[in-house]
Structure 1
Amino acid sequence: MGEREEISRGLHAGESYRTIAGLLGRAVSTISREVKNNGRRDVYRAIAAQERARHRARRPKQCLLDCRPALRKTVLTLLMQEWSPEQIVGYLRRHHGDDPGMAISPEDFKSSETVVTL
């Protein structure tokens, strides 16, 4: 929260991302990403950014496959055919690349929530 306050103050004072990053000992890209993810230079507010971060980090999170029945069905079908996680990800990208609801990463297979769900 303290760093977000410093970012907010720096933006309000018209400081550059580079200046703010130097003061906080952070990379310029970190400051830029933080501001971009939480509005923009003229609307960034530390409290709102902190609330969004807290919301994104809440646990427990619902399992990806529980949220997306079509994805779950496809993944289960391919796993029963002994496809590897990497093969499944490749298949989904080839056949459903334009549908974010059918996206999964190989790392998602390693999470305990996915294993329990399967």
Structure 2
Amino acid sequence: MRHTYSHIDLDERRKIARWRTAGISVEIIAEKLGRHRSTIFRELKRNTFVDKLIPDLNGYYCVTAHDMACERRAKLRKLAQFSHVRQSVIDRILHGWSPQQIAGRMRLERHPISVSHETIYKFAYSADGQAIKLWRHLPEHRARRRPRHA
């Protein structure tokens, strides 16, 4: 059975903020939005504003939460944004390096732009990676990724 997932949008974040201010429980908010309660808990944990200087300002604000989520999402596109990093990753994969080795070497060399091994795998199995058949040079040589918990 396949599930389709969608990111929480600004409208849903407005509802979450309004209902949390009204004191409604996370379980009821999740039910009203048609999402799992862990999704709402994760949203509140990851996107709650914290001010160390003025703790009274701490809280969940929908616009701030949306900006935080968008900023975090933009960081995932490093290989698309930085062509020199992308080319370096491709070259190393073609020379037989594993994604773990590439990510580890970038951290060791303290590159200003580093990527995780998971980002490299996602790139290798993306449309761009499939076009140049990067998967053939990965340790497992699979054309498709297996689900983690299958």
TM range (shorter): 0.5 to 0.7
| Alignment-mate amino acid for residue 64 of structure 2 | A
Superimposed CA distance per residue, residues 1-56 of structure 1 (whole angstroms, 9 cap, x where no aligned partner): 2211111012112222112112212100110111112116x511112122334445
**Structure 2 CA distance for partners of 1:78 and 1:26, relative to 1, 3 Å:** closer
**Structure 2 CA distance for partners of 1:43 and 1:113, relative to 1, 3 Å:** farther
Aligned twin of 1:21: 30
Distance 1:23 1:112 in 2: 36
Aligned twin of 2:98: 88
| Alignment-mate amino acid for residue 4 of structure 1 | R
Aligned twin of 1:51: 67
**Which residues of structure 2 form unaligned runs of 5+?**
1-9, 50-57, 108-112, 135-150
RMSD of aligned residue pairs (Cα, Å)? 3.7
Structure with the greater relative contact order (CA < 8 A, sep ≥ 6): 1 or 2? 1
Does the 8 Å contact 2:92/2:102 carry over to 1?
Answer: no
Distance 1:53 1:63 in 2: 19
Superposition TM-score, scaled by structure 2 size? 0.51
Q: How many residues align?
A: 107
Instruction: Find the residue that maps to 1:31 and give its secondary structure.
Output: helix
Name the % identity: 25
Superposition TM-score, scaled by structure 1 size? 0.61
Structure 2 residue 92 is matched with structure 1 residue 77: yes
Distance 1:50 1:32 in 2: 15
Distance 1:29 1:10 in 2: 16
Superimposed CA distance per residue, residues 75-97 of structure 1 (whole angstroms, 9 cap, x where no aligned partner): 51341x3x3xxx6124347xx29
